[in-house]
Amino acid sequence: MSTETGAQAWPVKELDGWLPTTASIIIDNYNYAAFLGEAIESALNQTHDAQVIVVDDGSKDNSRDVIAAYGKRVEAIYKENGGQASAFNAGFRRASGDVIFFLDSDDMLEPGTVEAVLNAWREGTVMVHHPMLIIDSKGRPWGEIPDPNLGLADGDVRSLLLNEGTYPTTVTSGLAFARPALAKVMPMPEKDFIYSADGYLVHALPFFGRVQRVNGRLGKYRTHGGNATDAWSDPGGYAAGFRRKISYSLNEIETVRKFAREFSLTPSADIGEGDPDFLGYRLFSIILDPRSHPIPHDRKFGLLFKYIARRWKSSWSLRRRVSTIIFPLFAAFASPSAAAKLIHTMSDSAAQPEWLSALSKWLRRRQKKGPATAA
């Protein structure tokens, strides 16, 4: 997916003719001792040497024992709990590599990740992103992130950021950053990005250069029910989880506005309205708990219409488009408890009923058959 616009010369002159040769892997950790060892091993076992920094953000489990077991093979930073952005900032201050990888401590890199990224790096690139295999808590594979039908952006994505507030990218452990560009946006704001700190980076860096797609699964993204960015794991309930996701998105949109102002660019007045994820967070929040919904001007059926329109136009599979439309449609008319079950079922393909599979198959057959023609 190329998004080149050539709208403005790039501001990071240090990247002219620059190609990286060294790398640092910063592992941020908070109470993930159960997975941390695998993350560290994946960083140490790279086919291209990399500086490995482990930042423990005030864990209360035995994470420090796990880190200490690696001795001088890793550079350990122990700090008070301050959130993911503060851990990123602490790690970046120690990092010396040309390319910086941020690895969440419940994820893993493939052995050839660093080598593949360095070899593929093009002049003018500020950020590389790549697909990852999704695994469960026991390491069993079950999918890919991002969805293969969506792909990853490649090129100048400023127009997408200015108009929609987002572009096709991925999660923290599937990203790598050019140090000269990263230095322009670090340290990052810690209070706004206690969680989802990658949201700041992927919305800030494209104002300094091109993003680059590298194909092939170069890591493993673990889902285990305790992921901090999962709306379903919020201790305050599903509605609170979606309100949290809304706050992340608003912080990301404000990041776009901030850097747009810095470079005298003008974001769309309705920035964010083209992002189906952001629309979905708002729709599910207002369905589940309208009194606590954080955006006063939102209306349930207006959001529902926008959400359905955006999802239907997406490049997702027909089954996924159908499920992401039907469940919210029913949820909009259901009680909050029934709506919560419907919305959760929508996100869990294993829990989806047989009738949905039958409906998707029927629609696919209709689609292939096409409209009837006159003899």
Q: What is the pLDDT of residue 147?
A: 84
The rounded distance, in Å, linking the Cα atoms of 126 and 111 is 23
Q: Let me know whether 180 and 103 are in one domain.
A: yes
Which one-letter DSSP state was computed for residue 13? G
pLDDT tens digits for range 57-81 = 999 999 999 999 999 999 999 999 9
Q: Of 229, 249, 268, at which residue does a domain stop?
A: 229
Q: When comparing pLDDT for 293 and 230, which is higher?
A: 293
The rounded distance, in Å, linking the Cα atoms of 184 and 197 is 16
Do the beta carbons of residue 246 and residue 294 sit within 8 Å? Answer: yes
Q: Let me know whether 200 and 328 are in one domain.
A: no
> Does a structural domain hold residue 67?
yes
Q: Let me know whether 177 and 281 are in one domain.
A: no
> Does a structural domain hold residue 44?
yes
Residues 174-194: what's their mean pLDDT?
A: 96
Total tally of structural domains belonging to the chain = 2
The rounded distance, in Å, linking the Cα atoms of 314 and 321 is 8
Q: What is the pLDDT of residue 318?
A: 80
> Does a structural domain hold residue 370?
no
pLDDT tens digits for range 91-113 = 999 999 999 999 999 999 999 99
Q: Let me know whether 194 and 332 are in one domain.
A: no
Q: Of 202, 229, 256, at which residue does a domain stop?
A: 229
> Does a structural domain hold residue 176?
yes
Mean pLDDT of the chain: 88
> Does a structural domain hold residue 8?
no
Q: Let me know whether 267 and 196 are in one domain.
A: no
Phi first, then psi, for residue 348 (nearest 5°) are -120, 100
Residue 341: Cβ within 10 Å count: 15
Burial class of residue 370 in the structure, from the number of CB atoms within 10 Å of its CB (0-12 exposed, 13-18 middle, 19+ buried): exposed
Whole-angstrom distance between the N-terminal and C-terminal Cα of the chain?
40
Per-residue pLDDT band at 10 (split at 50, 70, 90) = confident
Q: What is the pLDDT of residue 252?
A: 97
Work out the angle between the directed axes of helices 354-369 and 318-331 (0-180°, nearest 10).
130
Q: Let me know whether 62 and 28 are in one domain.
A: yes
Which one-letter DSSP state was computed for residue 133? E
Residue 104 DSSP SS3: strand
Q: Let me know whether 208 and 312 are in one domain.
A: no
Burial class of residue 1 in the structure, from the number of CB atoms within 10 Å of its CB (0-12 exposed, 13-18 middle, 19+ buried): middle
Q: Let me know whether 61 and 119 are in one domain.
A: yes
Q: Let me know whether 195 and 243 are in one domain.
A: no
- Percent of the chain exceeding pLDDT 70 equals 87
How far, CA to CA in Å, does 91 sit from each of 26, 55, 130, 188, 261? 6, 6, 22, 12, 28
pLDDT tens digits for range 308-322 = 999 998 877 787 788
Q: Of 229, 253, 277, at which residue does a domain stop?
A: 229
Residue type at 143 in one-letter notation? G
> Does a structural domain hold residue 367?
no
Residue 103 DSSP SS3: strand
Q: Let me know whether 193 and 252 are in one domain.
A: no
How far, CA to CA in Å, does 93 sit from each of 24, 40, 41, 179? 11, 19, 22, 11
Q: Let me know whether 44 and 105 are in one domain.
A: yes
pLDDT tens digits for range 151-161 = 899 999 999 99
Residues 256-272: what's their mean pLDDT?
A: 95
CATH of the domain at 63: 3.90.550.10
Pairing of strands 99-104, 210-213: unpaired
> Does a structural domain hold residue 7?
no
Q: What is the pLDDT of residue 237?
A: 80
> Does a structural domain hold residue 62?
yes
Of 290, 240, 292, 245, the residue nearest 272 (C-alpha): 245
Q: Let me know whether 83 and 211 are in one domain.
A: yes
The lowest-confidence range among 62-66, 177-181, 203-207, 352-356 is 352-356
What are the structure tokens assigned to 305, written together?
């219409």
Structural domain boundaries enclosing 40: 13-229
Burial class of residue 367 in the structure, from the number of CB atoms within 10 Å of its CB (0-12 exposed, 13-18 middle, 19+ buried): exposed
What pTM does this model have?
A: 0.87
Buried (b) or exposed (e) across 111-144, using 16+ Cβ within 10 A? Answer: eebbbbbbebbeebbbbbbbbbbbbeeeeeeeee
Per-residue pLDDT band at 347 (split at 50, 70, 90) = low
